[in-house]
């Protein structure tokens, strides 16, 4: 049985005060959950990681970063290393979010370096994959997701792969209110699990958690989570409201 994993991606939202308040409310909302039932994480903006992290300390809610740079240190103005994130208490780092792929222009090769660097630095990467609307319309979903998986995970040993979570986030469902149907999500999650078996082995494929992301809300979380290969959720907009995020977490257990 894969333990559900629900993560909130706050994107470029909150300020110092509201980040702490949001973290505190999520901690208190999750306090009655059995610790073995679900993994929970929030990913605030870099500048509020420490403040929000303090509010999470000694709680069951883990801290994650929205990105990580692949170099260890040096002249890389504006970038943040895995060691720095580890140093301030991060457990997870999102790699290859669609907004970084399509707004910032990150390539599969760069994302692959970030996944490697996150693991080497002691972080657990969440690798995001997902197709654009025009790719889905052109029946290219499988092709795109397969490329992103193969390139994003290139060169990882089986042991390193066990640190990774995959997030399937169809780009057309992100922030649009258009959620993939549970069946659409399940189809791609099953494809991803088969790919993991092919690239690594069946055991790893059976263990790796695959999250769904894209307009997840309290009223659609449960039916998505009921699908066999949906092991968790990566939540954007709804993770900015503590009540909604906590309701999503609770509907996954
Ligand atoms: P929304 O839940 O706002 O659609 O965002 C999903 C997402 O991109 C999470 O990483």
Rounded-to-5 percentages of helix, strand, coil across the chain = 50, 15, 35
Answer yes or no: are the C-beta atoms of 68 and 112 closer than 8 Å.
Answer: no
State which ligand 1 atom lies nearest to the alpha carbon of 94.
10
What is the pTM assigned to this prediction?
0.98
What pLDDT was estimated at residue 200? Answer: 98
Of 171, 248, 240, 241, nearest in space to 11 by CA: 240
Contacts of 84 (CB under 8 A, 6+ apart): none
pLDDT at 1 over 90: no
116 annotated active-site:
no
Q: What is the pLDDT of residues 92-123, one digit of tens each?
A: 999 999 999 999 999 999 999 999 999 999 99
106 annotated active-site:
no
Architecture of domain 5-241: Alpha-Beta Barrel (3.20)
Q: What is the pLDDT of residues 12-47, one digit of tens each?
A: 999 999 999 999 999 999 999 987 899 999 999 999
pLDDT at 178 over 90: no
75 CA from centroid of ligand 1 (Å): 32
Distance CA 214, CA 101 (A): 15
pLDDT band at residue 160 under the 50/70/90 scheme: very high
Question: What does the block give as tokens for 13?
Answer: 């939202």
17 CA from centroid of ligand 1 (Å): 22
22 CA from centroid of ligand 1 (Å): 17
Distance CA 12, CA 195 (A): 32
What pLDDT was estimated at residue 177? Answer: 84
Rounded mean pLDDT of 169-185? Answer: 93
């Amino acid at each position: 049985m894969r333990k559900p994993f629900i993560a909130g991606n706050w994107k470029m939202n909150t300020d110092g005060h509201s980040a702490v308040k949001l973290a505190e409310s999520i901690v208190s909302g999750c306090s009655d959950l059995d610790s073995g039932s679900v993994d929970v994480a929030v990913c605030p903006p870099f500048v509020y990681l420490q403040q929000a992290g303090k509010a999470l300390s000694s709680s069951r809610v883990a801290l994650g970063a929205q990105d990580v740079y692949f170099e260890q240190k040096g002249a890389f103005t504006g970038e943040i290393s895995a060691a720095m994130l580890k140093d301030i208490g991060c457990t997870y780092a999102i790699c290859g979010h669609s907004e970084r792929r399509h707004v910032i222009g990150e390539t599969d090769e760069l994302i692959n370096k970030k996944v490697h660097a996150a693991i080497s630095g002691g972080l657990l990467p969440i690798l995001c994959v997902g197709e654009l609307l025009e790719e889905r319309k052109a029946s290219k979903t499988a092709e795109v997701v397969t490329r992103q998986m193969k390139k994003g995970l290139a060169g990882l040993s089986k042991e390193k792969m066990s640190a990774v979570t995959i997030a399937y986030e169809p780009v057309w469902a992100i922030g649009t209110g258009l959620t993939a149907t549970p069946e659409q999500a399940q189809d791609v999650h099953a494809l991803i699990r088969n790919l993991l078996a092919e690239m690594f082995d069946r055991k790893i494929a059976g263990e790796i958690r695959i999250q769904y992301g894209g307009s997840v809300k309290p009223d659609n979380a449960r039916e998505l989570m009921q699908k066999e290969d949906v092991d968790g959720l990566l939540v954007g907009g709804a993770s900015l409201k503590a009540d909604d995020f906590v309701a999503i977490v609770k509907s996954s257990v």
